[in-house]
Amino acid sequence: MNYFPEEVLEHVFDFLTSHRDRNAVSVVCKSWYTIERFSRERVFIGNCYAISPERLIERFPRIRSLTLKGMPHFADFNLVPHDWGGLVYPWIEAMAKSGVNLEELRLKRMVVSDEGLELLSRSFANFKSLVLVSCEGFTTDGLAAIASNCRFLRELDLQENEVEDHRGQWLSCFPDSCTSLISLNFACLKGEVNLAALERLVARCRNLRSLRLNHAVPLDSLQKILAQAPQLVDLGTGAFVGDQNSESYHKLQSSIQKCTSIRSLSGFLEVAPCCLDSIYAICLNLTSLNLSYAPGIHGSDLIKLIRHCRKLQRLWVLDCIGDKGLEVVASTCKELQELRVFPSDPLGVGHAAVTEEGLVAISFGCPKLHSLLYFCQQMTNAALITVAKNCPNFIRFRLCTLNPVIPDPVTSQPLDEGFGAIVQSCKGLRRLSLSGLLTDQVFLYIGMYAEQLEMLSVAFAGGTDKGMIYVLNGCKKLKKLEIRDSPYGNGGLLKDVGKYETMRSLWMSSCEVTLGGCKALAKKMPRLNVEIIDESGQIGVNPDDDRQKVEKMYLYRTLVGPRSDAPEFVWTL
């Protein structure tokens, strides 16, 4: 391998874009490690506390794109207290100080501050792309800094963030000289934007491909925007409410018809169903449709819309679509690869939801389905077995019964056999979320068959420590395990402590693990951070009572020891 000069190897490595390939290459030998580290431009860090910014920069000085993930997944469901951590500021600061030529920053579940955004906008002359997913801690002032200072900004993509709206004019801060935008998504912002500034911005960014508006952008602004940007590929409407008989509605229809490149559609945050006529023209070419924020589209309007979308590959809807609506999807969308059905009534106060019937229909109609997120009223083993047979290509299978411990309503059995069929049939399954009544049996199946499984989510399972042990023993590629409200204790936790160094993280909340068990684990495994989240302060009061249950535990492998920014309610053992 030393026959090739470095430049040649570097050139070869250029073709390796996936970070897994690059990681693999970097451990072949020392010289490959060195060549690879100087040529790596894109770095992915799945847990921001696994490594420090300084070590990142030291190893990859030529980094241009950084992806960071912060809080554990269950933070999405309010299980992680505010102020737990996941701050991005130290990363931005370290990179700014080292003169890194950062061009892209992608963050998920991190705390971002306006100061951080300001520093980001001023420190990296070539900064091009900011993608924030499920982040919080910043306001529209921070966005104003990005808009003002990032002269070559191509992408500003805000997905499902909690942003405090200061009703400023952040969008007006894009200077007239800014013409480089390719992607702009501010759908999650709650406040008003300057519509005239928006229209002018769109008009001068001739390369704009993706535009997702927030609810404050009305229909007539949309019309003007589309008239200026017929080249759009991805559109998220704001409010879609107007008078069908008006002049501006007719203009809208003709503007939409000219947008022949649109392949992805979302939004309809507020909608008057009578206005939907205007979009049928673009439905035929749609490959992606997200109506999960559009409770205003339901019943026959929804079905009519779906019937136009024969080429859909991705569909996100609310469960008001019903089983009948899913049958329509099954017969219309033969190319469907990803389906997400969200609950329109999370508290389940007696609304129609979907059941196993809808899913079975989909499995018959859409054999290419590989990703599923399905919130349903109930599920049967028979249905899951049928789905497993019809769709052996699942990569992601996430099922969520609204009642977390509901058994098979037909047989009263747990759903072990159904999920067992899924893991046995879908040999490429990488992500699985379970719900419904479950026993150790399902975990035996998972341990036996789910060879490619990387992420498993368990909630309200039954059984014993054996269940957890089956999974830890059997799933060789497991990276993330998150468990809540299940009967696993120290027996499961401590059975194979070495396993956790092969994984990114383990979350256990409302289980049976005790303080003593966690301490024992931390002692054996110095390269893990075993964090206890002690919201009630109980553990702080009796830190020596090893028998007390630990309400929330989060452990992860790390090269840099306990984190220095842990708040007072987090104990690293």
Partner 1 sequence: MAPAMSVSSLGYEVTSPNYKETELTLRLPGESRTQKSGTKRGFSERVETELNSSVGDSRGMIFEDDQLANEVISAAAKSPKSKAEVVGWPPVKSTRKLNKACKYVKVAVDGAPYLRKVDLEMYNSYQQLLTALQEMFSCFTICNYLNERKLMDPVNGSEYVPTYEDKDGDWMLVGDVPWEMFVESSKRLRLMKSSEAIGLGSSEDTFKNAQAKVVEEAFNYSAQ
> What is the binding site for partner 1 (CB under 8 A)?
74, 76-79, 134, 160-162, 188, 269, 292-293, 295, 342-350, 375, 378, 400, 402-407, 409-410, 412-414, 437, 439-441, 459-460, 462-466, 484-485, 487, 489-491, 510, 512, 549
CA dist., res. 482 & res. 221, Å (int): 44
Would you say 191 or 491 has its CB closer to partner 1? 491
Would you say 249 or 293 has its CB closer to partner 1? 293
DSSP 8-class letter at 275? G
Least distance to partner 1, CB of residue 462, Å: 5
Would you say 242 or 463 has its CB closer to partner 1? 463
**Beta partners for residue 156, in sequence order:** 130, 184
Angle at alpha carbon of residue 321, lines to 244 and 254, rounded to 5°: 25
Least distance to partner 1, CB of residue 312, Å: 21
CA dist., res. 486 & res. 510, Å (int): 7
Least distance to partner 1, CB of residue 115, Å: 24
Would you say 79 or 144 has its CB closer to partner 1? 79
Least distance to partner 1, CB of residue 433, Å: 8
Pairing verdict, β 65-69 and 270-271: unpaired
Asked if residue 215 lies in contact with residue 270, where contact means CB atoms within 8 angstroms, the answer is yes
CA dist., res. 207 & res. 183, Å (int): 9
Least distance to partner 1, CB of residue 367, Å: 28
Would you say 299 or 348 has its CB closer to partner 1? 348
Least distance to partner 1, CB of residue 12, Å: 42
For 225-267, give the secondary structure using H, E and C.
Answer: HHHHCCCCCEEECCEECCCCCCHHHHHHHHHHHHCCCCCEEEC
Least distance to partner 1, CB of residue 21, Å: 32
Alpha helices in 353-495 (DSSP H): 356-365, 381-390, 416-425, 440-449, 465-474, 490-494
Asked if residue 108 lies in contact with residue 69, where contact means CB atoms within 8 angstroms, the answer is yes
Number of C-beta neighbours around residue 558 at 10 A? 19
Would you say 75 or 227 has its CB closer to partner 1? 75
Angle at alpha carbon of residue 77, lines to 483 and 528, rounded to 5°: 45
Would you say 52 or 505 has its CB closer to partner 1? 505
- List % helix, strand, coil for the chain (3-state, nearest 5): 35, 20, 45
CA dist., res. 509 & res. 516, Å (int): 16
Least distance to partner 1, CB of residue 238, Å: 13
Would you say 21 or 545 has its CB closer to partner 1? 545
Would you say 287 or 401 has its CB closer to partner 1? 401
Least distance to partner 1, CB of residue 78, Å: 5
Would you say 14 or 76 has its CB closer to partner 1? 76
Q: What is the CA radius of gyration of the chain?
A: 25
DSSP helix/strand/coil, 338: strand
Would you say 118 or 482 has its CB closer to partner 1? 482
Of 378, 381, 362, nearest in space to 370 by CA: 362
Q: How many residues does the chain have?
A: 573
Least distance to partner 1, CB of residue 415, Å: 13
Least distance to partner 1, CB of residue 187, Å: 10
Q: Name the token pair of 341.
A: 């059905």
Least distance to partner 1, CB of residue 190, Å: 9
Asked if residue 390 lies in contact with residue 372, where contact means CB atoms within 8 angstroms, the answer is no
Angle at alpha carbon of residue 70, lines to 69 and 74, rounded to 5°: 105
CA dist., res. 264 & res. 124, Å (int): 31
Of 306, 303, 313, nearest in space to 334 by CA: 313
Would you say 439 or 538 has its CB closer to partner 1? 439
